Amino acid sequence: MQASFTEENYLKAIYHLSEEGRQQVNTNRIAMVLNTKPASVTDMLKKLSEKNLLNYTRYQGVSLTDPGRNIALKVIRKHRLWEFFLVEKLNFGWDEVHDLAEQLEHIQSVELINRLDSFLGFPEYDPHGDPIPKDNGTIKCYDLKPISALHVGETGTIAGVREHSPLFLQYLEKMNLVIGKKISMEEVIAYDETVVITTENNQKINISKAAAKNILITI
């Protein structure tokens, strides 16, 4: 039961969408993230439903079946392992690897990806802090909070991001707000909800409300 390049992308997108909001995933949203048109999505949903990779009833949205979810997780595993490889071995920046991984994630070979995993030392997280699914289909469900959820005086460690655009990642890099950094909440400016945080070396940094929502921490 091999899924095509395009089918894999649909399954992955639907998986990601059902992670964020827990309701049914709707057609327009899928079209948006896949950069395509709703009519095309409907066609594909019918096909994937036919193949039993998702549950689909007209006008009702979709959810993945177990086989569908499994394929999605395999693709995500490949995506994140390749991203790790690109950053750790080829010295790419964390803002440069996503598009490349979008291509590499479709290379078909279980043996290859398991050897890559081993070569990389079985990493648990990708360069953006996202957990890497295991070969058996398990994935750590991590619950991180955005910085904006911290109360004044509380402390946390940066562990992930909610947005993966190069612009955002470059900005974080420049501010040295990278995975593993300890920060604490200083105050929230009443005027525009700008967040002020302090780093380990007592540096104060101002972060916009939008940015603070997209930086994830553990406590």
Our finding on whether 148 is near DNA (CB under 7 A) is no
Q: Would you count residue 41 as binding DNA (CB under 7 A)?
A: yes
- Kindly state the smallest distance separating residue 45's Cβ from Mn ion, in Å: 24
Question: Which of 20, 23, 46, 107 is close enough to bind its own copies by CB under 8 A?
Answer: 107
Q: Which does 105 bind (CB under 5 to 8 A by kind): its own copies, DNA, Mn ion, none?
A: none
158 binds, among its own copies, Mn ion, DNA, none (CB under 5 to 8 A by kind): none
Q: Is there binding between residue 91 and its own copies (CB under 8 A)?
A: yes
Q: Stretches 51-59, 118-126, 137-145, 165-173: which one binds DNA (CB under 7 A)?
A: 51-59
Number of residues that bind its own copies (CB under 8 A): 15
Q: How far is CA 10 from CA 4, 42, 63, in A?
A: 10, 11, 12
> Is 39 near DNA (CB under 7 A)?
yes
Interface residue list for DNA (CB under 7 A): 4-7, 26-29, 34-47, 56, 58-61
